Structure 1
Amino acid sequence: MTEYATADRAERAETAAPPTALEPGTGDAAPRLTGAQALIRSLEEAGADTVFGIPGGAVLPAYDPLMDSVKLRHILVRHEQGAGHAATGYAQATGKVGVCMATSGPGATNLVTAIADAYMDSVPIVAVTGQVPSSSIGTDSFQEADICGITVPITKHNYLVTDPADIPRVIAEAFHVASTGRPGPVLVDITKDALQRPAAYCPPQRTELPGYQRVGRPHDRQIRQAAALLLAAERPVLYVGGGVVKAGAADELRSLVELTGVPVVTTLMALGTIPADHPRCLGMPGMHGTVAAVTALQKADLIFAVGARFDDRVTGRLDSFAPYAKVVHADVDPAEIGKNRAADVPIVGDAREVLEALLHVVRSEHEAGNHGDCTAWWERLDDWRTRYPLGYEPAPEGRLSPQRVIERIGRLAPEGTVFAAGVGQHQMWASQFLRFEEPRHWLNSGGAGTMGYAVPAAMGAKAGMPDRTVWAIDGDGCFQMTNQELTT
């Protein structure tokens, strides 16, 4: 590695101009930076403060300016999958864009699982990969892999950069795309020669992407229709998904629940959007959910879904799910509406804006004397909650049940603790027996169900929230997949 890095620095020294030189003919004081220097400065200006990664030949030029940066902290992981999950945990805990970095070929392909995981759970990360020199692309050169082609189905967008002058614009666009609309991963693949060559550093003044349209405000007519259905329903249920967390709409959700008295169920990805002990919260729906939550959805005459996608783990067989219910479906991604369950009232919009608009209309209806009535419905719901509470068989004398261990950890953990879970039975026990009072305190792999997620994700959460206590709840199988990150 030392010889490789030394040879690389020598090559870069021959091609790089002084970073303070000006681009001739521009008339502006645009500094000339190598692509590597431009990459690090662009990450800094995008607001990044932590990069999880592993160096390698194609991305090595970026590491000198990265080590010199006073704004960016690099965390050297032990496997690129760990870098990707750490970036995801960082993003889920902080709400900011997570960043990971890898070299070409196997370094980049080792990121694929974590990128797919982030895509399924709508997590904003930017993955930066090195690529072989542009003259070698397509020649099956050493450690070449078409990572852009590989990740097309699992990224919001990706870039192959061969010109160092494009790096500031591309990084700004990558952060914008990753964090707006329905969040998700963006990959930026940069050839080694683009990292080594100098160019004028010209950061974009604004991000203009004509083909990328952000979702506008929800339509007033649909909001009014949704409010009318909500207030007229005898057995309504609010079905809340991870989109409410992404939108930062927990306060608006709680206001709506307390204003209307409508019961709410929160998916695995939405735990904490309303406190677990809130009297209107029925818990988690689906195959591992509470009896009250599952039965409420099945017996409902209206399901108001916000930021949820009618996932098969919630619905089971779609043809028998909630057979009596009309559906209002609000989501920032129009592709999700009607994909699995037809919507009687479709609402395209950010969850916070949808809930804010709905609150305004419902308050107006209340002032006009239209309050709705869930009294009889709550008598049935409370009966189900009382008769079928969550519980577990006590362990034999002298032994401990895993549910009790997890429950006890939750009680002893200080306020604000973040929990990350792997995938499997321990994940379900954690979701059932930990009590989440706020969003972003529960991190897990929901859509992809990625074993090995917990340890690196907890590490990323701790890097992003150093003052918080962070617990990883893992199973033996998951732990063995990424336990090398304990060394990190």
Structure 2
Amino acid sequence: MPKLNGGQIIIESLKKENVDVVFGYPGGAVINLYDALFSSSLKHYLGRHEQGVIHAADGYARSTGKVGVCIATSGPGGTNLVTGLATAQMDSVPIVAFTGQVPSSLIGKDAFQEADITGISLPITKHNFLVTDIKDLPRTIKEAFYIARTGRPGPVLIDLAKDVTQAEMEFEYPDSIDLPGYRPTFEGHKLQINKAAKAINSAKKPLLYVGGGAVISGADQEIRALVEKAKIPITTTLMGLGIYPEDKELALEMLGMHGTQYANLATTEADLLIAVGARFDDRVTGKLDEFAADADIVQIDIDPAEIGKNVDVTVPIVGDIKTVLNELLPHIDEKEMGEWQQRIKELKEKYPLKYEDDGSEVIKPQYVMEEIDKFTDGDATIVTEVGQHQMWAAQFHKYQKPRQFLTSGGLGTMGYGLPAAIGAQIGQPDEKVILIAGDGSIQMNLQELGTAQTYNIPIKVLIFNNNYLGMVRQWQEFFFDKRYASTKIPAPDFIKMADAYGIWAKRVEKKSELDAALKEAMEHNGPVVLDIKIPEEENVYPMVPAGAGLKDMIGG
């Protein structure tokens, strides 16, 4: 067999893992890898910043369910990945990130562009590797992909000493791996499944609380079967949106700080909470000792560390969501609609999501989301930045399927949305991908417009422009007597900015202009920017103040 250098071995290993798309930014420490990439069949997308590169890999992974792959050089290249690694770790996104490192003989000697990226990233990756011997390279890549995609997915970083990518050896990719310390549990414990079934069958007011773990597991059909068989109302986290169609009778949509009033009230009234792939995040629970205080709790999660971490659990089940639900469903009794379901209907009728509309030409952001929903008939991938616009996108668009809503949930990363939308569009070229952005968030990685333009990636960027860091301003209004400290953020001329990148753009300042602008944007064959002027002091309602219980909602 001919010998390959380390860069070529990485390329051939990626092919063995069925990778066909790579996001990256070159540098001296990965120059051999890029030389191998140049003559390969892999499609490489050059970002404009390493943070943009890893968020694009993240968006690709979330939209497709595949492992996202990215490359950065040593030193600042690696450290610029840190926010993206933490974002993926918090939201359980499978990524394999390759970083360059100085030659192995110089490690630890403060060589040019040296950074201890494995030490830096240890708390924010599922696992990481430092490769200093080319003989370890194929096995390391095989293990990295296995770890990234199995169990609770997450980012894995492979740091490559430069001499490893230069060295040569005969290439042989391992057929299998054995990791004694890593044995994810997929099947649920039969005794616990029987206990869960008994609890569900005997509950008078059961409620499904479903998170991103169910989306990752591909358990939407099983969730739907459970809802419809046992007539269990369902609420989701931000990461779980779309796991069950939100226009259905038993759908309560999102719960938590900016969740629907009916979801939050139903949670306080339930006598059994079935948590499926959800981690009882503080933005969901509010005051912990008041969260579902009258309910027993069944928790199903593939990560044993999440079981009982934040709340006491009556019936814990460790296992893959899809597998466990398939084991559980035969033991669930078929039920008819009853008093509890009638109560859910009453809550939805009494406390609908709403906003003030005075009939003027002012463009309310909630109205924009409703119009997008109508315009696309719910058939689009919505990606968001982080802030008020993120919550309006979660509230006022009816999601119909999983992987239809992509956002940074756990870390709340401003600057995530634009590169993630690019990655999502690359992963799903036939899907309509719409980015909902704030004028503050969009500026954090605005340079990625260059990536969209270079590859003619037809994302539709809608900027909700209120000249404020809106979510922080809202907190300042409610809790700091309107002392708007450093939240006024005059925006650049986004139309000129888009034009500088060669991207079609339009400003929308009147409600009557919106539909025509949306139609023009959606029909345009390429990337688009719409700068939509919204009221400066529009608020997100309802809102549960930090530390309060779910029943203590403001507005809505």
Give the structure-2-normalised TM-score. 0.80
Secondary structure, counterpart of 2:228 in structure 1: helix
2:55 alignment partner in structure 1:
85
Determine what percentage of the aligned residue pairs are the same residue: 55
CA displacement at 1:410 relative to structure 2:
2.1
**C-alpha contact 1:395 1:401 (8 A) present in aligned 2:** no
How do 1:55-454 residues align onto structure 2 when only pairs under 5 Å count?
Answer: 55-70=26-41, 72-362=42-332, 366=333, 371=334, 375-395=338-358, 397-413=360-376, 416-454=379-417
Unaligned ranges ≥5, structure 2:
452-556
**C-alpha contact 1:36 1:195 (8 A) present in aligned 2:** yes
**C-alpha contact 2:378 2:398 (8 A) present in aligned 1:** no
2:424 is the counterpart of 1:461:
yes
Counterpart among 18, 32, 44 of residue 47 in structure 1: 18
CA displacement at 1:376 relative to structure 2:
1.3
**C-alpha contact 2:301 2:307 (8 A) present in aligned 1:** yes
* Deviation sequence 1:352-391 (CA, Å, 0-9, x none): 01111111111xxx4xxxx567611122211111011011
How far apart are the structure 1 equivalents of 2:369 and 2:202?
41
2:480 is the counterpart of 1:485:
no
CA displacement at 1:307 relative to structure 2:
0.2
CA displacement at 1:416 relative to structure 2:
3.7
Letter in 1 for 2:373: G
1:5 alignment partner in structure 2:
none
How far apart are the structure 1 equivalents of 2:27 and 2:393?
37
Letter in 2 for 1:339: K
1:10 alignment partner in structure 2:
none
Change beyond 3 A, Cα 1:409–1:268 = same
Letter in 1 for 2:292: A
How far apart are the structure 1 equivalents of 2:129 and 2:249?
48
Letter in 2 for 1:131: Q
* Deviation sequence 1:78-119 (CA, Å, 0-9, x none): 010001110000000000000111000000000000000000
CA displacement at 1:165 relative to structure 2:
2.1
Letter in 2 for 1:418: T
Letter in 2 for 1:63: Y
Unaligned ranges ≥5, structure 1:
1-28
**C-alpha contact 1:414 1:469 (8 A) present in aligned 2:** no
How far apart are the structure 1 equivalents of 2:71 and 2:354?
43
Give the structure-1-normalised TM-score. 0.91
1:17 alignment partner in structure 2:
none
How far apart are the structure 1 equivalents of 2:241 and 2:56?
20
CA displacement at 1:415 relative to structure 2:
5.8
Tell me how large the CA RMSD over aligned residues is: 1.1
**C-alpha contact 1:232 1:372 (8 A) present in aligned 2:** no
**C-alpha contact 1:164 1:195 (8 A) present in aligned 2:** yes
* Deviation sequence 1:242-281 (CA, Å, 0-9, x none): 0000000000100111000010101100111000111111
Change beyond 3 A, Cα 1:232–1:315 = same
* Deviation sequence 1:32-83 (CA, Å, 0-9, x none): 110010011111111111111100110111011111111x111000010001
- How many residues are treated as equivalent by the alignment? 451
**C-alpha contact 1:131 1:190 (8 A) present in aligned 2:** yes
Secondary structure, counterpart of 1:457 in structure 2: helix
CA displacement at 1:185 relative to structure 2:
0.3
Change beyond 3 A, Cα 1:407–1:415 = closer
1:15 alignment partner in structure 2:
none
How far apart are the structure 1 equivalents of 2:378 and 2:142?
36
Change beyond 3 A, Cα 1:47–1:414 = farther
Of stretches 466-475 and 402-411 in structure 1, the one that deviates more from structure 2 is 402-411
**C-alpha contact 1:426 1:474 (8 A) present in aligned 2:** yes
Secondary structure, counterpart of 1:59 in structure 2: helix
**C-alpha contact 1:257 1:264 (8 A) present in aligned 2:** yes
